[in-house]
Structure formats: structure tokens, C-alpha cells
Amino acid sequence: MIKGVLFDMDGVLVDSEPFICKAAVAMFSEMGHKVQEDDFLPFVGAGENRYLGGVAEKYGIKLDIDRAKKRTYEIYEEIIRGNMKPLPGAQEFIKKCRGKDLKIALATSADKTKMEANLKNMDIPLSVFDAAVNGLDIERKKPFPDIYLKAAQLIGVKPEECLVVEDAVNGIEAGKAAGAKCLALTSSFSREELSGADWFAEDLSSAPDEVLNW
């Protein structure tokens, strides 16, 4: 029986991927390197260290990851100011979970800085969630299950009693490895690429009723 819902953030509650991608491309450009937006696709959902580091490895770029992340976030926060809003159905789905007395947690591979910037700009307070786990809280990032195991633990629910809401291949793998059921949103990847999930929807406004009734 479902008792908890664990939300990824990027691509689930908000479409921040185009913004962080532009910020990352700009950061590399400032370093004198031209990279392509498509270069970042394999690293979506794996946390900023891998997101930036993976592209740096592809081009043989030596990267001070802490400095690179700091500058990327600075550019990112400038870009999103006044330009970010929740994805369709996000706020309504959270309310629906609350109406069913389900525990809810945010589980994002993004660092705390990006998590807080996103929530602030899409007007969803952190206090809405019973718990939150960000990329700095766990050592092994998605596709390892650690982030969802920790989120489930924090809300006092067994992973197999949780629904994981994800949009990325790495995230679905992490959710299933944790033992949870998964709703895949096809906002970033195709249904075929996310085939390991239990349910599919374009966004949370079209999520099937059964995802919260099992």
C-alpha cells in the first residue's frame, strides 16, 4: 500500500534543464571552451559534479569542479530570475498527495544551492515537503538508489511503499533499485528510454489515478 511519494525536482516539478544547460555552456565558454547542449544529455539527473565533469572529460578539459559549479550557479540564478514556473500539474499533484495523507519528500541530485533557487523561483516552499535530500547529502548519485533510500528513511516509510516520480533514465533506475514503484514523466526522455517505470505521463497533470491508489 502506498504511504509516501518521493519527487525528483528537475523535469518533474520544474523544467530547469534548459536553464542549467545554458548556464553550463556559458561557464565553459568563459573558460575558452565551446561545448554543445547535447553533450550534457547523458549526465542529466546524475548531479552537477557529473553533469559538468562528464562534459569536461569528453573534451579533455581540466576542471576545478567547485569553482566551475559556483560560476555555473551564478549564471543560472541570473537566467532563472522571473523566468521559472512549476510544470503543469505539479502543485495540484502535491496537494492531492497531501489530501490522501501521504508523506512526501524531495529527492534531487542537484546541489542545495540549485534546489533552493528553483523552489524560490517557482514559489513552492521547502516546508511543503516532509523531508528533502539534495546531491550534497549522498555520496553515490543516481542511478544508485541511495537518494531514494535516504528520502524514504527520513519520512519513515519503506521504499517499497513509495512512489518515485522521475523524468530521467538515471532516476528511474535509482527508484527501481530502491524497490519503489515509479511514475516516469516524458518531459526529458522518451517512454522507450524510461521503459523500466511502472506508469507514464507527459506531466503531473496527466498522471493516471492509479499511481496514488495501490
Q: Please indicate whether residue 10 is annotated as part of the active site.
A: yes
Secondary structure (3-state) at 201: strand
Q: 10, 15, 146, 167: which one is catalytic?
A: 10
Beta-carbon neighbour count of residue 146 at 10 Å?
18
- Dihedral over Cα of 42, 189, 88, 210: its sign: negative
What residue type is assigned to position 62 of the chain?
Answer: K
Q: Please indicate whether residue 38 is annotated as part of the active site.
A: no
Task: Answer whether 20's CB lies under 8 Å from 11's CB.
Answer: no
Secondary structure (3-state) at 155: coil
Q: 133 φ, ψ to 5°?
A: -125, 130
Distance of CA 107 to the CA centre of its chain: 7
Q: 8, 111, 146, 167: which one is catalytic?
A: 8
Whether the upstream peptide bond of residue 143 has omega within 30° of 0, thus cis, is yes
> Where in the sequence numbering do the catalytic residues fall?
8, 10
